[in-house]
Amino acid sequence: MAIREAVHLQNDGADADEVRRWMAAVAQHAEGIIPTAFDSLKVVQKGTPDMSVDVGAGACIIQGDENAFQGSYFCENDATVNLTVAAADPTDPRKDLVVAQIEDAFYSGAINAWKLAVVTGTPDPSPSAPAIPTSAIQLALLDVSAADTSIVTGDITDSRLSQLLDFASMTRRYGKWKAAGSQAVVTATKTQIAFATITEDNYGMEDDANSKDFGVLGLFAVTGHIDFVAEPTSGLIILEIDIAGADHTYINTFTGATGVDFLGFHLTRPMAPTDNVTFFLTHNHGSNRTIASTSELEIIQLPYGRVLS
């Protein structure tokens, strides 16, 4: 039929596919976790590590891929689920995926359910991740070393993406970091600042002390403060925040006056997945300055942050 029935007519019950198509339209056909908490459906090592991982409680939206009018599915998990990881190859490493997947027998197969599952990759000296299954979203990438006997935190790459409905309550915090302690800034020398200590879950953001990659399209706030071990007595402090992508660099500067022992910063702008942010400090005091470990960086994906391309 060319014109589909309107959803939720007062005197007509809604079919399941009508509800799914309505949900897909409301979500603008986006899929991913629903960030009710920072650890929603997060994949972590088991308490006593072995060849399995734990998936936390949470919820997600999964877009059906088998039919243009299949719509979106709401899926919820209310307790930790343990998933077995296949035994490691004795010779070569491999990459596995942890996914959330819909199985709908109306479109294929005989199962009507959603599941959390591990998709086992192929061992190889230079392994690649397997393909994401039909009607599924990726939650994590697992690096399974040759002859491995347990999966630990360092083997797990968080690859959840936020479905991020455009509601004010749906702010997605990427992470908060403290500066590496006792970083010296020589007079009149542009010096890069390292934010090395994660103080809150980084939620999948690349953890590099000197550079933070955004990873997804969105509207982001970059905010924080630079603290100094001793209060300067003269001269200026200039903080440069560079946001660089494949074909652009945006430079933002913040200036601190004489006699301040900290410098605050805040900027908000759209970011591309390949954009990264770095921080540089320059001063013209007569002696070197030392950055305190209380200095802090916070990066937040804001509501309305899903940019349409």
Q: Residue 300: pLDDT above 50?
A: yes
Which segment of 117-121, 165-169, 221-225, 237-241 scores lowest on mean pLDDT? 165-169
Q: Residue 170: pLDDT above 70?
A: no
Burial 75-107 (b: 16+ CB within 10 A, else e): bebeeeeebebeebbeebbbbbbbbbbbbbeee
Q: For residue 163, which of 35, 45, 275 has the smallest C-alpha distance?
A: 35
Structure-token pair, residue 113: 């359910």
Contact 85, 52 (CB under 8 A): yes
In whole numbers, what is the pLDDT of the chain averaged over residues? 80
Specify the CATH architecture of the domain 172-301: Sandwich (2.60)
The residues of the chain that CATH labels 2.60.120.40 are: 172-301
Q: Residue 167: pLDDT above 50?
A: no
Query: What confidence score (pLDDT) does residue 232 get?
Result: 60
Q: Residue 47: pLDDT above 90?
A: yes
* Rounded distance between C-alpha atoms, residue 276 and residue 211, angstroms: 6
Which residues, including other chains, have CB under 8 Å from residue 32's CB and lie 6 or more apart? Answer: 60, 61, 137, 160, 161, 162, 163, 164
- Convert the pLDDT of each residue in 249-263 to its tens digit: 778 887 876 666 778
Q: Residue 49: pLDDT above 70?
A: yes
* Rounded distance between C-alpha atoms, residue 245 and residue 274, angstroms: 6
* Rounded distance between C-alpha atoms, residue 23 and residue 35, angstroms: 17
Residue 222 C-alpha from the chain's centroid: 15
Q: Residue 179: pLDDT above 90?
A: no
What's the maximum distance between 2 C-alpha atoms anywhere in the chain? 80
Q: For residue 194, which of 172, 177, 207, 179 has the smallest C-alpha distance?
A: 179
Contact 228, 289 (CB under 8 A): yes
Query: What confidence score (pLDDT) does residue 238 get?
Result: 86
Q: Of 18-32, 64-78, 85-99, give the range with the top mean pLDDT.
A: 85-99
Query: What confidence score (pLDDT) does residue 308 get?
Result: 32
* Rounded distance between C-alpha atoms, residue 157 and residue 141, angstroms: 5
Alpha-helical segments (H) within the chain: 16-26
* Rounded distance between C-alpha atoms, residue 201 and residue 177, angstroms: 9
Residue 205 phi, psi (nearest 5): -75, 140
Give the model's confidence band at 180: pLDDT under 50 very low, under 70 low, under 90 confident, else very high.
confident
Interval 190-196 mean pLDDT: 88
- Convert the pLDDT of each residue in 80-132 to its tens digit: 999 999 999 999 999 999 999 999 988 899 988 899 999 999 999 999 999 99
Which segment of 49-58, 158-167, 194-203, 273-282 scores lowest on mean pLDDT? 158-167
Q: Residue 2: pLDDT above 60?
A: no
* Rounded distance between C-alpha atoms, residue 4 and residue 287, angstroms: 73
Q: Residue 78: pLDDT above 60?
A: yes
- CA-only gyration radius of the chain, Å: 24
Query: What confidence score (pLDDT) does residue 164 get?
Result: 56
Interval 162-179 mean pLDDT: 59
